[in-house]
Amino acid sequence: MKNVSLILFSILYTSCWFNPHHPAISSNYNFKNVGSLIIDTIEDYSESPKSGMMIFSNLTHNFLKHGYDVNQSSIRVGNGKEKLLLSCIITEFTDSKMVVVPYRHEDRGYTKTIVEQSSNNNQKNEKSDSDQTQTSTTTTHAGKIKEGNRVEYTQSRVGFMLKMTDYNSGKLVWSNSYWYSGLEIQRTIELCVKNSTIQIDKIFN
* Residue 5 falls inside a structural domain: no
Q: What percent of the chain has pLDDT over 70?
A: 64
d(CA 197, CA 105): 50
CATH code at 53?
3.40.50
* Residue 126 falls inside a structural domain: yes
Q: Are residues 49 and 137 in the same domain?
A: no
Q: Are residues 141 and 167 in the same domain?
A: no
Looking at residue 150, its pLDDT comes to 67
127: exposed, middle or buried (C-beta count within 10 Å: 0-12, 13-18, 19+)?
exposed
Looking at residue 112, its pLDDT comes to 67
When pLDDT is averaged across residues 168-183 and rounded to a whole number, the result is 93
As for how many domains the chain has, the answer is: 2
When pLDDT is averaged across residues 44-66 and rounded to a whole number, the result is 95
Q: Are residues 126 and 96 in the same domain?
A: no
Print the domain residue range for 92: 12-100+153-204
In angstroms, the Cα distances linking 6 to 2, 29, 119 are 6, 43, 70
9, pLDDT greater than 80: no
Q: Are residues 166 and 110 in the same domain?
A: no
* Full-model pTM: 0.66
| Nearest partner of 121 among 132, 105, 107, judged by Cα | 132
Q: Where is average pLDDT lowest: 2-11, 155-164, 177-186?
A: 2-11
Looking at residue 23, its pLDDT comes to 87
Looking at residue 10, its pLDDT comes to 39
Looking at residue 138, its pLDDT comes to 63
Which of 12 and 146 is assigned the larger pLDDT? Answer: 146
* Residue 35 falls inside a structural domain: yes
Q: Are residues 79 and 29 in the same domain?
A: yes
| Nearest partner of 22 among 179, 153, 176, 187, judged by Cα | 176
Q: At what angle do helices 51-65 and 185-204 cross, to 10 degrees?
A: 50
Q: Are residues 94 and 38 in the same domain?
A: yes
Tell me the three state secondary structure of residue 204: helix
d(CA 152, CA 150): 7
